[in-house]
């Protein structure tokens, strides 16, 4: 069956290309507002499933991938900053601290309605950063559309002192190791 990525994210599309299976990308257009008292894990799992299900009618005989991500530091959820000043505030808050990224992943067989979903955590430990370092980084990389205000696949790696987790791809927004496991559950052979 054909594969569909329920995302307009160029980062997720670039990641999915790594496993060399043809796919179509389509925007799921869902409301991503967190529910009251929803934990970060509940939020990303709910949104990953909602994104996959949002395309089920449009792609009735497909494997549909949904994914969503949040960054959590000292109990505070960080999404995409959108502005330079918001990015500065996020990175100042993260300086010298651990930030855990939770990436929700769902794989739906739209023909049978069989669904598998999980959440992949990944933690980065930030160096102590001063405002000048933070502003230089933001000016050079412009990570305004990235949860946590950095791109680990680029210059953002210089902000960390260490990383901990099973799948570094989850930092970019799509845990490929777990995705391959889910695809294999549906009988897709990779490579």
Rounded to 5°, angle at Cα 76 from 102 and 167: 20
User: Quick one: pLDDT band at residue 79, thresholds 50, 70, 90?
Assistant: confident
Catalytic: which of 31, 68, 113, 166? 68
Nearest to 54 by CA among 28, 34, 31, 24: 28
Confidence (pTM): 0.93
Q: Is 31 a catalytic residue?
A: no
Dump pLDDT digits (tens) for 152-183: 999 999 999 999 999 999 999 999 999 999 99
CA distance linking residue 125 with residue 123, whole number of Å: 7
Q: How many CA atoms lie within 13 A of 159 on its CB side?
A: 34
Dump pLDDT digits (tens) for 92-118: 999 999 999 999 999 999 999 999 999
Contact predicate 131/117, CB 8 Å: no
């Amino acid at each position: 069956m054909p594969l569909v990525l329920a995302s307009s994210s160029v980062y997720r599309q670039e990641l999915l290309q790594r496993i060399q299976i043809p796919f179509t990308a389509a925007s799921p257009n869902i409301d991503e507002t967190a529910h009251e008292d929803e934990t970060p894990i509940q939020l990303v799992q709910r949104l990953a499933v909602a994104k996959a299900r949002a395309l089920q009618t449009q792609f009735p005989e497909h494997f549909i991938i949904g994914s969503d991500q949040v960054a959590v530091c000292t109990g505070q959820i960080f999404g995409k900053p959108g502005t330079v000043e918001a990015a500065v505030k996020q990175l100042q808050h993260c300086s010298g601290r651990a930030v855990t990224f939770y990436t929700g992943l769902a794989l739906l067989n739209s023909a049978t309605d069989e669904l598998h979903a999980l959440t992949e955590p990944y933690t980065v430990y930030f160096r102590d950063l001063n405002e000048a370092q933070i502003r230089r980084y933001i000016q050079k990389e412009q990570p305004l559309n990235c949860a946590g205000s950095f791109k680990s696949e680029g210059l953002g790696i210089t902000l960390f002192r260490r990383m901990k987790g099973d799948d570094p791809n989850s930092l970019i927004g799509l845990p490929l190791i777990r995705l391959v496991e889910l695809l294999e559950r549906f009988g897709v052979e990779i490579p």
